[in-house]
């Protein structure tokens, strides 16, 4: 087989594989899972609940940074960070759970969103006391405020 025959054969086999996959996709209704790109009926739950997924993830990320900052301050003897570290520690698992339930499209999301909103509001209030002089607290306060607002809408 010379080079030209090899190229023709490779091209033909590529076309045959693509045609076979297309035929399988047409026969298999599950072949295109995850390909939804809208938020309409039948859309993937992570797309339908994208606002919660993003807000909870952002809040969790900012909260973990804030918690580390609080712990550093506490280790250095600054006890003013006690309340902040406690509320952040309570908020983090709520945001993680809200993100997970939103991704799954869980029927429990509405109930959890009410609790998550409360935890975020508590954390927001605690971080507000430090937001003027600690950037991690300011960022945590802002993301908690945003996440609480989204969760309150879902819980309503």
Contact 101, 120 (CB under 8 A): no
| pLDDT for 16 | 43
| pLDDT for 4 | 55
pLDDT averages per 10-residue partition of the chain, 156 residues: 51 45 47 47 74 95 97 94 96 96 93 97 96 95 97 94
Which residues have CB under 8 Å from 99's CB, separation 6+? 52, 53, 56, 57, 60
pTM over 0.75: no
> At 101, phi and psi to the nearest 5?
-70, -35
Question: For every residue of the chain, which 3-state class applies, written as one string?
Answer: CCHHHHHHHHHHHHHHHHHHHHHHHHHCCCCCCCCCCCCCCCCCHHHHCHHHHHHHHHHHHHHHHHHHHHHHHHHCCCHHHHHHHHHHHHHHHHHHHHHHHHHHCCCCHHHHHHHHHHHHHHHHHHHHCCCCCCHHHHHHHHHHHHHHHHHHHHHC
| pLDDT for 144 | 97
Sorted by where each begins, the domain ranges of the chain are: 1-29, 45-155
Q: How far apart are CA 142 and CA 32, in angstroms?
A: 38
| pLDDT for 46 | 75
Q: How far apart are CA 127 and CA 5, in angstroms?
A: 70
Domain 45-155 has CATH 3.40.50.800: no
| pLDDT for 23 | 45
């Amino acid at each position: 087989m010379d080079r030209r025959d090899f190229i023709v054969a490779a091209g033909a086999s590529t076309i045959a594989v693509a045609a076979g996959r297309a035929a399988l996709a047409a026969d298999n209704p599950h072949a295109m899972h995850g390909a939804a790109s809208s938020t309409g009926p039948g859309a993937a739950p992570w797309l339908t609940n994208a606002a919660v997924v993003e807000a909870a993830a952002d809040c969790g990320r900012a909260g973990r940074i804030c918690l580390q900052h609080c712990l550093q301050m506490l280790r250095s003897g600054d006890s003013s960070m006690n309340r902040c570290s406690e509320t952040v520690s309570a908020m983090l698992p709520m945001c993680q759970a809200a993100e997970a339930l939103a991704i799954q499209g869980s029927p429990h999301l509405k109930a959890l969103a009410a609790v998550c909103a409360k935890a975020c509001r508590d954390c927001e209030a605690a971080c507000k006391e430090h937001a003027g002089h600690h950037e991690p607290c300011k960022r945590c306060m802002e993301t908690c405020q945003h996440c609480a607002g989204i969760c309150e809408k879902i819980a309503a």
